[in-house]
Structure 1
Amino acid sequence: IKEMEEAQIICGYHTLINWEKTDNVNVSAIIELKVNPQKGKGFDRIAEKIYHFPEVEAVYLMSGGYDFMVQLKKAPMREIANFVSSRLSVIEEVQSTKTHVVLKQYKDHGTMFVGKADDKRQVVTP
C-alpha cells in the first residue's frame, strides 16, 4: 500500500458516516453550473477557481444540460445558500446555478445506508 501511495495510485482515503444516526443538522448539496468557457483556456481555469473553495468536496465537468457538477461538504442550509449566492454565482463566467439538496442517502462509495427497517405495525388480517 505504501508503494501505491508513493506512486500516487492511491490518492487518499475517506470515512463514510451514516448521518441519519446522528443529531447533525447539516445537509449535502449538489450544484449544477452553466458557465461561459474562457477563450483559449476552456473549462480548466473556471474549475480551478471553484475547486479551491474549502466548501467544495468535488467538481466534475459534465456533458448534457450543464457544464459542472459541484458537490459541497455537509453544512447548514444557510451556509450553503450563502456560498452559492456570494461565492459561486459571482464568478464572472458563471451563467446560472441550480442547487439540489440531498433528501436521503441510500448508497455511497459502494456502502448501503438502508436495510430492512423494523416494522412495528401490527399485522392486519381479514
Structure 2
Amino acid sequence: MGITLLVTNLDTSIAFYRDMLGFRELDAGEGNAVLASGATRLVLRAVPEVAPINRRLVHLNLEVADVQAAHAELRDKGVRFTYAPRVVNRGERLELWAAAFRDPDGHGIALTQWRERTTT
C-alpha cells in the first residue's frame, strides 16, 4: 500500500514517522521522502504553504497485531491519543478495534486490529 501525505515541515514529519511510529527512511529527494513499515510505503511531500487538510478525508490506518500494546508503547513515547483502544466497527464475526491520534500536520492516524467477536 502506498500513501502520499502533504506536510508543512519535512524534517519534523520524517522524525515523527521514523522515531515515534517506527517507519524506516528508504529514500529522500528535494522536498520529499519515502518511508516504509512492513508493506506500507509512505511518501512525505513538503508543501510549506499547503492549505489546511480536511480531516474527514485524510486518515491513515496502521494495522497492528495488538492495538493495546501498540497504544501503550506510543503513549509512553509521548503520542497524545484522541481516543484509546475501543471497538469502532462490529460485524457478525469480526470487530475492528482502533486507537486514534494525529501527526504533526493534523493528519488522522488510527492503530487498528481486527478481532474475532466473542459471544457472552
* TM-score normalized by the length of structure 2: 0.30
Larger radius of gyration: 1
Q: Bigger relative contact order, structure 1 or 2, given CA contacts below 8 A and separation 6+?
A: 1
Structure number with higher strand proportion: 2
